[in-house]
Chains A and B, each alone.
Chain A
C-alpha cells in the first residue's frame, strides 16, 4: 500500500497500465455492446427496448462504484495522508459524474416507452439524482481547494459523508414502494435470463476497465500539472531572487 503511495513508483506502474486498461475496456465494451444491442433476442414484454439495459446498468454500477472509490480515497487521505489518495478521488469524480448522467438519461429514455413517463419522483430516481448533485458538489469543492493552492481535506470529508447515499440508492426499491422495479440481481440469484445476463456482465466489465483507465490517465494528468506548477513557482522564485 505504501509502495503505491510513492508518486514515482505509481507513475511507472500507470504508464503501461493506463493504455492496457483503456484498450482492453474499449475492446470488451465494443464486443459486449454488439452482443447486447444486435445479437440478443428481444424481451418478452419490452421488445427491443430491453437493449438499453446494457448501457443503463453498467453506468449505474460505475456511478455508485465511482463514489465508493472517491469515498475510499477520502478515507485513506484523511487517515494516512497519502499524497496520491486526494488525487485519486479528484480523478474519479468526473468520470463517475459522467456515468451518473448517462444512467439518468438512459433511464429516462427507457421509462418513456415502458412506464409511460419520462420521470417520476420515486425513491430510486430521486436518490440517484441526488448522487449526480453530490458529484457536482465534490467536483466544485475539489476544484476550489486546488485553486487555493493548498491541500484541502474538505472534499475528502464530503466524499465520506456523501457515501451514505449509496446504501440508500441500493435499498430504495426495497424500503419504499417505487415505480422502479426491485433489484434483478441479488446475491447468487438473478431474475435476468442468461441470454441477457452474460452480455450484461461483459458490458459491466468493459465499462469498468474504461473507468479504471480514465481514472489512471486523469491521475497522471493531475500529477503532471502539479509538477509543472512547482517548476514554474521555483523558476519565478529564482527570478525574483536574482532581480
Chain B
C-alpha cells in the first residue's frame, strides 16, 4: 500500500526512520565510550586496578574531612581523596585553587607512587551543582526558606 502514501508522508517516514537509527547509533557509541571518556578515576577504580607507577592519570573524589594537613616545609599538603568506598592519600606542593577545601570535590593530575600515595602535579577544584548565597549557608533549610519568603 506504499503507493497510497503521499510523497510528503513517505519522506516523513523515511526521515524519522533515519533519525531513529542515527540517534540509536550515536547514543550507543557514546555509551560504549563510558569508560574511556571519563575525565578521572575514582578512588575505588584506582585501588582495584592501580595504574602503572610512571603513568600520568587523574584521580577525582571528595577531600576527606579532617585529612588535610600542611607539611613542615609549608608548601606541601597531604590529604585523602575518597569516594565513600575507597581512600587514596594524595600529596601535592604548590598553590591550590580557591575552591579547594575539605569535604569538597577535587581532581588531581599526577602519578600513583610505589608507596601507594598519589603524587599530584596539578590540583583542580570540582564544584558541586549547588548554588547557595553566603548568608543562607549556615541556616537550616526551613530557616532559609523563611528568610527567602520574608525578603520576597
Binding site for B on A (CB under 8 A): 40-47, 50, 53, 75, 78-81, 113-117, 120-123, 160-161, 164, 167-168, 171, 175-179, 181-184, 191-196
A195-B136 in contact (CB<8A): yes
A50-B42 in contact (CB<8A): no
A118 to chain B minimum Cβ distance, whole angstroms, is 11
Q: Which residues of B contact A53 (CB under 8 A)?
A: 131
In the complex, the number of residue pairs spanning A and B with C-beta atoms less than 8 Å apart equals 133
Question: Which 5 pairs between the two chains have the least Cβ-Cβ distance?
Answer: A116-B97, A164-B26, A41-B133, A122-B39, A44-B137
Find the A residue at minimum CB distance from B36. A176
B60-A177 in contact (CB<8A): yes
Find the A residue at minimum CB distance from B101. A45
- Taking chain B's interface residues, is the majority helix, strand, or loop, or is none over half, making it mixed? mixed
**Cα distance, A43 to B18, chains bound together (Å):** 46
Chain B residues within 8 Å of chain A by Cβ, number? 46
Q: Which residues of B contact A79 (CB under 8 A)?
A: 8, 11-12, 15
Q: Which residues of A contact B136 (CB under 8 A)?
A: 41, 44, 193, 195
Q: Which residues of B contact A113 (CB under 8 A)?
A: 97-98
Q: Which residues of A contact B99 (CB under 8 A)?
A: 45-46, 114-116
B39-A120 in contact (CB<8A): yes
A48 to chain B minimum Cβ distance, whole angstroms, is 10
A123-B37 in contact (CB<8A): yes
Q: Which of A41, A164, A183, A184 contacts B23 (CB 8 A)?
A: A164
Q: Which residues of A contact B129 (CB under 8 A)?
A: 181-184, 191
